[in-house]
Amino acid sequence: MQIFWLKRNLRLQDSEPFYCSMRDYRHYGGVLPLYIHDPDLIRQPDVSRQHQAFIQETLTELAKELEALGGGLLQAVGESTAVLDKIHQLSPIKRIWTHRETSQQSEYQRDKQVRVWCNARGVELVEVEQNGIARGSQKALSFPEYFSASINLTLKDPTGTDLSKRFAPLPFPSCCESEIPLARGADKPLRQKGGRKAGKKILDQFFNVRNISRYPSRISSPNTAWDGCSRISTYLAYGIVSDREVFQAVDRVVSSGHEKQNSVQFQRLQDQARFFLDRLNWRRQYIQTFERYPAPVVDPKATAKIARRRVHAIRNGVTESSQLGLI
């Protein structure tokens, strides 16, 4: 049997792990989609009730998508290796497909424990890179290279396909929502709703010439940013929408402008689209930086030197970033 392990990759569209597991079912066995509600992760300080509710809404919708394809989603509560061990005893696992996690240290440690568990039992763990983030000695593509490769891909979407023969039956019933430990805090009534439909609605409604043209000015003010930003960040963070889908949405906007605008208008639109893409580039750079350097490195002497320069600059009325060494 194969496991399609869902973590921060909560989608079936443009999902290489899902596609590859379906492709290889004859050799490695049927596919079991799995989400683990790990109490240790739920207790982390970066997790609150609103995050948990968002995830659960997404999983509820995802389960329906899988049912439409002929499969099911197993949700289980427990430490990740313990859940995998329970499944393995009932139906031996040959391979686990998932996206490579690039978020918190707690999740990285969870993944290391799962890798140790897999090595001890002869289970192959395949972690597919996400957001173009490189790990270890792997060389990262530049943003232009990654963007160009992304917009030229045909993104796979299994919707409407009968894949019932390729799924494995659930080895035991999914947990009830009441069995899932609650994260700290309270849910927020005005938060964004989870699920692929909500993310897809943003892709369909925000990415047009009018919104991209207004984006640079509207995102710069708290009075207009609420309506002027894309609000796609949450869906990117949980892998409900892929960055490649967003890249292709921006590319479609630029292509539309090329057909309808004069040269001056089109040049302005290109600049405005680049402004939006710059934010996606920064996002990718920050994730890559934390992947390369997970622990902050602080040089006390350099920190003190920067502080003295800033005090000197303020006293002399010089506050330009070029004088202060700010980014």
CB 125 within 8 A of CB 31: no
CA distance linking residue 184 with residue 43, whole number of Å: 7
CA distance linking residue 216 with residue 229, whole number of Å: 9
**Three-state DSSP state, 5:** strand
CB 250 within 8 A of CB 207: yes
* Binding-site annotation: residue ranges for FAD: 215, 276
The strands making up 74-77's β-sheet, listed across from edge to edge, are 74-77, 31-37, 2-6, 95-99, 124-128
288: buried, middle or exposed (CB in 10 Å: 19+, 13-18, 0-12)?
Answer: middle
Residue with tokens 């892929």: 242
Amino acid of residue 324: L
* Binding-site annotation: residue ranges: 215, 276
172, two tokens: 């035991």
